[in-house]
Structure formats: structure tokens, C-alpha cells
């Protein structure tokens, strides 16, 4: 026998009139690397065996002693899909089990290597498809949020009826973190915005000789809208992200799963203290924000408009009704509940990695701010229609 390529696993016999590929030995996982090297060497010497001129009669499998999935994948790599399919039949010399194994591996590798054909779509169809996916995602997020709100309210109602289950220490610690530590930034921001609003109002109203109404402008704006809105947005960026990062890290470290194994409810243990803390903190911060914003406006009035602090307080006392304060304060608990629930929900959605924590932290801030502004717009229209 004259061979141009010969090894313990492969041989290429050209002694007869018809070249024959001889497969022999063990084609198994422990020889996977050696098989690859010998296949490359054979191809370099004898060419591509998967060409159409070869058929099952060119391949001698009688010397094949063992074949597993790895060896079958190398055989498929050597012969190609068409020739490997011909060798799966009983006339090839392979046993029924080995033929079935080669057929299965060949089918799997062809399916894996087959490119997915995408039907071409027009720009309009593509845009409508993206819009549909966005609406589906939005609806899924809304359902998840409403479901988690209901779940939290149910746990809150059960907890209120059982004072022994209240986690006072945890709630107080969260109030310190979410409320007390946020007082400086809330007061400073509202003071500066109050000063800006007063300065802009004075500039515009001076053209009409009505600078005295700057007092009304500042107090109306902060009692009804700006104080609660700025505070809620700041808390959405500061507190909702903190809730998500804390719960997300616990989810990644499987601490939340451990609480479930111990028979404890993560909602009672982790969510309710945060919700209650923000329900207490946000109204108090809103009240402080009103004072800071009005004080900022009063400073500008005193320095720029010669409206003394006594005159400012007299106008405030005589012309500003209590209902404006109540309208602003009534929105604070609603915003607090929404921000806390969104922060905790996004933390519970975290799965697997630190990247997921970052993604859901960003989502909690964006969703919280969006929902706060949406609710504030609806509330403004409602109060305006009710003439409150």
C-alpha cells in the first residue's frame, strides 16, 4: 500500500486506482487535539475530502475502534456534511449506534453553523416594531410596579395590625440616612432656587411696576409646587438609588435568598422599613424646603427690592392662604411612597452581577423622577380644576 499520509488515526491510500481514506484507532475526546493536527496535515497533503468527487466508497471505517461525540465532530470536520451524511447508513461499515451518533453530531453542527435569515423590512415596519417593543416593555414595567405597590401595601396593612413586628430600630436608622443626612443639601438647593425665582420675578414684574408681587410669586411657587417637587427629585436621585444599590448588592450576595430560607419575608424585613422611613422623611424635608426657598426669596427681596423681612412676613401672613401649604404637603407622602417602592423594586430585580446593580440603579432614578413629574402634573391639573 502506498500512502501519502499515514498515522495511527488517518491514512490516505493511493495504491489502488481509487484513492481511499482510512480511518482507524480511537476517535475520542482524549485524542481531540491530535485528531485536529492530523486532519490539518492530511488536508495539506491530500486536499479537501469533502469535495463532490468523493463518496462513501472512498472512506474505510472498518479500523475505527472507538467513537464518541468529540471524535464524531472531528469526523464531520474532516468529511463535511454531505459525505458524513452518506457514512451514517449501514453500508458505510459503521455500527448503528455510531452511525446515529455521527448523524446527531452532523445535524447539530449544521444547525449551529447555519446563519439565521432575517427577512428584510422597510423603515416603517422597523419603526413600528420598535415602538411595539417599547410599549410592551413599558406595560410590563407598569404592571410590575403596580403589583409591587399592592404587595407592599398589603404587608404594610398587616404590619400596622401587629405592632410587635415593627422594626423600629431599622426604621429610625433609615430615617437618619434618608432624612437627617439630606437636610443640608435640601435646604441649600431650595434656598438658591428661591433666590433665583425671586430675582427673575423681580426683573419681569419691575416692567409693570409690580415688584411687590414678587413675595406672592415666591411663596405661591414654593408652597404649592417647587418645594415638594425639588425635594422629591433630589430624593429620587439620592435615596431611590441607595435603596436599589443596597438591595441589589444583597441580591447578588444571595442574602435575600438566605432570609427566605430562614422563613423571613424580604418585604417585611427590607422594604417596609425603607418605605416607612421615606414616608416620615419626605414631608419633613418638604416643610424645610418651603422655609428655605421662601427665605431665599426674602433675602433677594430685602437686598434687591428694598422689601424688608417684616414687610415680607406681613404680606405672607395677609395674602397667602393656608390651602397652598396643604396642597404642597399633600403630595409629599405620595411621592415618598412611589420613590421608595421604585427603588426597592429595582433592587429586587437585580440578578447576577455588579453590572446589573448599576443598570437597575440608573433605572430606579430615571423611573422615580419620571413618575414624580407625571404625578405632579396630574395633581396640578386636579387641584386647578377643583379650585383648591
What integer pLDDT is reported at residue 285 of this predicted model?
93
Measured distance CA(234)–CA(240) in Å, rounded: 10
Measured distance CA(371)–CA(381) in Å, rounded: 15
Strands 20-27 and 59-67: parallel
102-137 per-position pLDDT tens digit: 888 888 877 776 655 556 667 888 888 888 888 888
DSSP secondary-structure letter at 68? -
Distances (CA, A) of 240 to 124, 236, 244, 355: 38, 5, 6, 17
What integer pLDDT is reported at residue 281 of this predicted model?
92
Measured distance CA(2)–CA(279) in Å, rounded: 90
Q: How confident is the model at residue 68 (pLDDT cuts 50, 70, 90)?
A: confident
Q: pLDDT > 70: what percent of the chain?
A: 91
42-58 per-position pLDDT tens digit: 777 766 555 445 565 67
Query: If we measure between CA atoms, which residue out of 192, 191, 193, 204 comes closest to residue 305?
Result: 204
130-152 per-position pLDDT tens digit: 888 888 888 888 888 888 888 88
DSSP secondary-structure letter at 181? G
Please list, in sequence order, all residues whose beta carbon lies within 8 angstroms of the beta carbon of residue 316, skipping any fewer than 6 positions away. Answer: 215, 219, 294
Residue 59 is placed in which grid cell?
472512506
Mean pLDDT of the chain: 82
Structural contact between residues 235 and 278, judged by C-beta atoms closer than 8 angstroms? yes
236-272 per-position pLDDT tens digit: 888 888 899 888 888 888 888 888 888 888 888 888 8
What integer pLDDT is reported at residue 48 of this predicted model?
58
- By three-state DSSP, how is residue 28 classified? coil
Least reliable range by pLDDT among 121-135, 217-231, 273-287: 121-135
Please say if the pLDDT value at position 378 is more than 80: yes
156-184 per-position pLDDT tens digit: 888 777 777 778 888 899 888 888 888 99
The pTM of the full predicted model, rounded to 2 decimals, is: 0.65
202 φ, ψ (degrees, to nearest 5): -65, -40
Structural contact between residues 331 and 375, judged by C-beta atoms closer than 8 angstroms? yes
What torsion do the CA atoms of 85, 89, 91, 96 make, to the nearest 10 degrees?
Answer: 130
Query: If we measure between CA atoms, which residue out of 233, 199, 227 comes closest to residue 302?
Result: 199
What integer pLDDT is reported at residue 117 of this predicted model?
56
What integer pLDDT is reported at residue 2 of this predicted model?
44
Structural contact between residues 349 and 360, judged by C-beta atoms closer than 8 angstroms? yes
What integer pLDDT is reported at residue 217 of this predicted model?
87
Least reliable range by pLDDT among 192-196, 287-291, 317-321: 317-321
Please say if the pLDDT value at position 99 is more than 60: yes
Please say if the pLDDT value at position 360 is more than 60: yes
Beta strands in the chain (DSSP E): 3-6, 10-13, 20-27, 59-67
Residue 153 is placed in which grid cell?
401595601
Give the range with max mean pLDDT: 33-37, 150-154, 190-194. Answer: 190-194
Measured distance CA(204)–CA(14) in Å, rounded: 100
- By three-state DSSP, how is residue 176 classified? helix
What integer pLDDT is reported at residue 335 of this predicted model?
92
Q: pLDDT > 90: what percent of the chain?
A: 15
Amino acid at each position: 500500500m502506498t500512502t501519502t499520509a499515514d498515522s495511527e488515526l488517518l491514512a490516505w491510500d493511493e495504491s489502488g486506482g481509487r484513492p481511499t481514506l482510512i480511518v482507524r484507532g480511537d476517535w475520542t475526546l482524549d485524542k481531540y487535539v491530535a485528531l485536529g493536527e492530523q486532519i490539518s496535515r492530511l488536508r495539506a497533503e491530500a486536499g479537501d475530502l469533502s469535495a463532490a468527487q468523493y463518496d462513501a466508497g472512498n472512506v474505510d471505517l472498518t479500523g475505527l475502534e472507538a467513537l464518541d461525540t468529540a471524535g464524531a465532530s472531528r469526523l464531520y470536520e474532516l468529511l463535511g456534511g454531505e459525505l458524513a451524511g452518506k457514512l451514517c447508513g449501514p453500508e458505510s461499515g459503521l455500527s448503528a449506534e455510531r452511525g446515529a451518533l455521527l448523524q446527531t453530531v452532523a445535524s447539530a453542527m449544521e444547525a449551529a453553523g447555519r446563519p439565521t435569515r432575517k427577512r428584510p423590512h422597510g423603515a416603517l415596519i422597523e419603526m413600528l416594531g420598535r415602538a411595539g417593543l417599547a410599549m410592551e416593555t413599558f406595560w410590563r414595567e407598569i404592571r410590575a410596579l403596580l403589583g409591587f405597590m399592592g404587595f407592599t401595601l398589603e404587608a404594610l396593612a398587616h404590619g400596622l395590625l401587629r405592632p410587635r413586628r415593627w422594626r423600629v430600630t431599622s426604621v429610625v436608622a433609615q430615617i437618619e440616612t434618608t432624612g437627617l443626612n439630606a437636610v443640608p443639601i435640601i435646604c441649600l438647593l431650595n434656598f438658591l432656587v428661591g433666590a433665583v425665582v425671586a430675582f427673575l420675578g423681580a426683573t419681569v414684574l419691575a416692567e409693570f411696576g409690580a415688584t411687590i408681587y414678587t413675595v406672592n410669586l415666591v411663596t405661591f411657587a414654593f408652597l404649592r409646587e417647587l418645594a415638594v417637587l425639588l425635594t422629591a427629585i433630589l430624593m429620587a436621585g439620592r435615596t431611590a438609588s441607595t435603596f436599589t444599590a443596597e438591595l441589589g448588592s444583597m441580591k447578588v450576595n444571595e442574602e435575600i435568598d438566605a432570609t427566605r430560607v430562614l422563613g423571613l419575608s424580604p418585604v417585611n424585613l427590607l422594604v417596609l422599613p425603607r418605605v416607612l422611613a421615606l414616608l416620615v422623611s419626605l414631608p419633613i424635608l418638604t416643610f424645610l424646603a418651603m422655609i428655605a426657598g421662601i427665605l431665599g426669596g426674602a433675602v433677594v427681596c430685602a437686598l434687591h427690592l428694598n422689601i424688608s423681612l417684616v414687610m415680607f412676613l406681613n404680606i405672607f401672613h395677609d395674602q397667602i392662604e393656608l390651602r397652598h401649604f396643604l396642597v404642597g404637603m399633600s403630595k409629599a407622602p405620595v411621592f415618598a411612597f412611589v420613590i421608595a417602592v421604585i427603588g426597592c423594586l429595582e433592587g429586587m430585580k437585580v440578578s447576577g452581577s455588579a453590572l446589573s446593580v448599576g443598570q437597575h440603579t440608573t433605572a430606579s432614578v430615571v423611573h422615580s423622577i419620571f413618575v414624580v413629574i407625571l404625578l405632579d402634573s396630574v395633581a396640578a391639573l386636579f387641584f386647578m380644576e377643583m379650585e383648591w
